[in-house]
């Protein structure tokens, strides 16, 4: 065996042991957590029944009797009380998307990550994990002036800014200046320092991630500044995929009772898809992991052919420096450690065009009352395409990452108005959106040609 092959095999073996050990610890924690959740569910149900009896009671004397009994029947159950805003992170609901499930004959379930309580996206899990890891390593001291620096398109920054406030740190966020303005407004309202910079390739020192790294080092080196600067480094840090390996993945496993055929997700840093896959493939080796990729991203080809390449690079038609799409948060043109750590576990990739994402976002409002952002819409298009490939009777899990409120000025501003019943889109219209100039008789948004 060649040396490199031996090193690879040894590496894979060690990783296997580490993952199994982490899984066993996590499994015990998750079981305890599950028992706690079941107990509090039972208590909640009992409370609900009592209130229901109250609301249905027509006999005033009986109502008075129930009220008099209440103090004796309510146990001292405080398990519903969350420990600060950090306590509202994780354990997000799994929602059946009824319209897509009915239309495809598959059960399409979505983890409502926009209901994470601090920054309202899956990045809450990552930001908390990064901060807790740094605290454990003694790298952060509350109220000392310690400041977390990060390069982010918005979501991670918002989560970091909120949790920093709760933990006594400052946040300094560098982001590209073509992201939806509501994201930087929100960061400012959370008291973060925001630097919006011109989009640039990663080789440029002023690229937003590089700039955040530099700013952190400048802070630490400056004797005039209190505390130190910590670069959060979401693209490379292990704390990112681990948050999904110990949180999102196990939650999906338990919420589905271990019955799922596929998991579909877009990737920005890759932390979500890697962390979830590393957990799910351990417990369900047959589960299919599918990447949902927007236009301009090289990840589709990285998964399919092992090379990072997008046709737009060759054509020289990219509108932006990073990724040419209206979609924010997913799609990338460079190799990151968080994507690579789980890449071998990804079975397939599905391209989604901007037109399809916009049409799906509208479909979800019109049919389900679900108002989400662009990456969630991409996930739902890919989940629907996969359902068509697999055929009826399968169960597919995906993510709803953030609310449409984060995307009003860009993605939603360019999406057709929510319409009436006459011009309703069919699912076929959405799946063929890249092949047609119009949907339901309406001209589509101004996105470029598809790269499907
Ligand atoms: C809204 C949104 N969805 C999805 C993702 C992708 O998650 P990941 O970075 O884990 O690949 C991001 C990343 O920033 C995001 O902001």
Is a pLDDT exceeding 60 seen at residue 70?
A: yes
Q: Are 324 and 315 in contact (CB under 8 A)?
A: no
Class for the domain spanning 88-118+242-443:
alpha beta
Please tell me the pTM assigned to this model: 0.83
Distance 194 CA to ligand 1 centre (A): 19
Domain boundaries, the chain: 3-81, 88-118+242-443, 123-231
Distances 130 to 1, 209, 237, 343, 429 between C-alpha atoms, Å: 39, 16, 8, 22, 42
User: For 268, which DSSP code?
Assistant: S
- Mean pLDDT of the chain, nearest integer: 86
- Contact between residue 434 and residue 336 where contact means Cβ atoms under 8 Å apart: no
DSSP bridge pairs for 230: 148
- Nearest 5°: phi and psi at 263? -125, 130
> Ligand 1 centroid to 388 CA: how many Å?
25
Q: Whose structure tokens read 């390739």?
A: 201
**Domains 88-118+242-443 and 123-231 fall in the same CATH topology:** yes
- Residue partners of 33: CB distance under 8 A and separation at least 6: none
- The finding on whether 268 has its CB within 6 A of some atom of ligand 1 is yes
- Please answer whether residues 287 and 281 qualify as being in contact, where contact means their C-beta atoms are separated by less than 8 angstroms: yes
Nearest CA to ligand 1 atom 6: 268
The confidence score (pLDDT) of residue 444 equals: 37
Which CATH code is given to the segment(s) 123-231? Answer: 3.40.50.1100
Q: In whole angstroms, give the CA distance from residue 284 to residue 257.
A: 11
Is there a contact between 86 and 118 (Cβ–Cβ < 8 Å)? yes
Q: Specify the pLDDT at position 29.
A: 65
**Contact indicator for 197, 177 with CB cutoff of 8 Å:** yes
Residue 182's pLDDT is: 87
Instruction: Name the residue at shortest CA distance from atom 14 of ligand 1.
Output: 329
Q: Decide: helix, strand or coil at residue 151.
A: strand
Q: What angle do CA 401, 403, 404 make, to 5 degrees?
A: 120
The per-residue pLDDT for range 22-66, each reduced to its tens digit, is 556 656 666 776 677 677 777 777 777 777 777 777 778 878 887
207 lines ligand 1 (CB under 6 A): no
pLDDT at position 310, please? Answer: 61
- SS3 for 293? strand
Average pLDDT value for residue range 224-248: 97
User: Residue holding tokens 């146990």?
Assistant: 75
> Token pair for residue 299?
């990840």
Q: Does the structure show a pLDDT above 80 at 322? A: no
**Sequence-separated (6 or more) residues with CB below 8 Å from residue 152:** 123, 160, 173, 174, 175, 208, 234
Lowest mean pLDDT among 215-224, 278-287, 307-316, 422-431: 307-316
- The per-residue pLDDT for 378 is 97
- Ligand 1 pocket residue status of 267, Cβ below 6 Å: yes
* Cα–Cα distance, 37 to 411 (Å, whole number): 37
**Residues 376, 381, 383, CA angle at the centre, nearest 5°?**
90
> Band of the pLDDT at 256, cuts 50, 70, 90?
very high
Cα 105 to Cα 78, 114, 389, distances in angstroms? 41, 26, 12
CA–CA gap between residue 362 and residue 334 (Å, rounded): 31
Q: Residue 336: CB within 6 Å of ligand 1?
A: no
């Amino acid at each position: 065996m060649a040396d490199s092959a031996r090193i690879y095999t040894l590496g894979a073996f060690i990783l296997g042991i580490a993952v199994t050990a982490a899984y066993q610890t996590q499994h015990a924690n998750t079981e305890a957590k599950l028992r706690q959740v079941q107990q509090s569910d039972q208590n909640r149900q009992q409370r609900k029944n009592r209130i229901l009896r109250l609301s249905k009671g027509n006999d005033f004397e009986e109502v008075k009797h129930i009220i008099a009994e209440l103090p004796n029947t309510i146990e001292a159950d405080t398990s519903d009380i969350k420990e600060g805003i950090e306590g509202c992170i994780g354990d997000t609901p799994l929602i059946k998307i009824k319209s897509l499930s009915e239309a495809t004959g598959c059960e399409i379930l979505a983890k409502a990550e926009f209901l994470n309580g601090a920054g309202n996206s899956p990045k809450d899990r990552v930001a908390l994990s990064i901060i807790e890891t740094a605290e454990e390593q003694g790298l952060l001291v509350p109220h000392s002036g310690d400041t977390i620096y990060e390069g982010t398109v918005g979501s991670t920054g918002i989560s970091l800014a909120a949790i920093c406030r709760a933990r006594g740190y400052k946040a300094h966020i560098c982001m590209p200046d073509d992201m939806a303005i509501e994201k930087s407004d929100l960061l400012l309202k959370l008291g973060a320092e925001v630097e919006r910079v011109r989009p640039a390739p990663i080789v440029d020192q002023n690229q937003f991630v590089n700039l955040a790294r530099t700013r952190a080092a400048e802070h630490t080196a400056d004797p005039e500044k209190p505390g130190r600067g910590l670069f959060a480094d979401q693209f490379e840090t292990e704390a990112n995929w681990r948050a999904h390996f110990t949180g999102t993945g196990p939650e999906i496993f338990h919420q589905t009772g271990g019955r799922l055929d596929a998991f579909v997700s877009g990737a920005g840093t890759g932390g979500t898809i890697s962390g979830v896959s590393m957990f799910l493939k351990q417990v369900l080796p047959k589960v299919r992991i599918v990447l949902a990729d927007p236009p301009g991203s090289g990840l589709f080809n990285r998964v399919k052919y092992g090379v990072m390449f997008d046709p737009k690079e060759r054509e020289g038609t990219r509108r932006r420096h990073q990724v040419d799409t209206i979609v924010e948060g997913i799609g990338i043109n460079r190799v990151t450690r968080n994507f690579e750590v789980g890449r071998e576990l990804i079975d397939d990739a599905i391209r989604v065009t901007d037109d399809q994402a916009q049409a799906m976002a509208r479909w979800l409002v019109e049919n389900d009352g679900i108002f989400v952002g662009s990456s969630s819409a991409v996930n739902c298009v890919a989940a629907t395409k996969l359902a068509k490939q697999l055929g009826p009777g399968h169960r597919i899990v995906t993510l709803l990452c953030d609310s449409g409120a984060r995307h009003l000025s860009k993605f939603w501003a360019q999406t057709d108005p929510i319409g009436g019943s006459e011009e309703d889109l069919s699912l076929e219209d959405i799946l063929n959106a890249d092949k047609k100039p119009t949907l339901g008789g309406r001209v589509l948004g101004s996105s470029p040609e598809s790269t499907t």
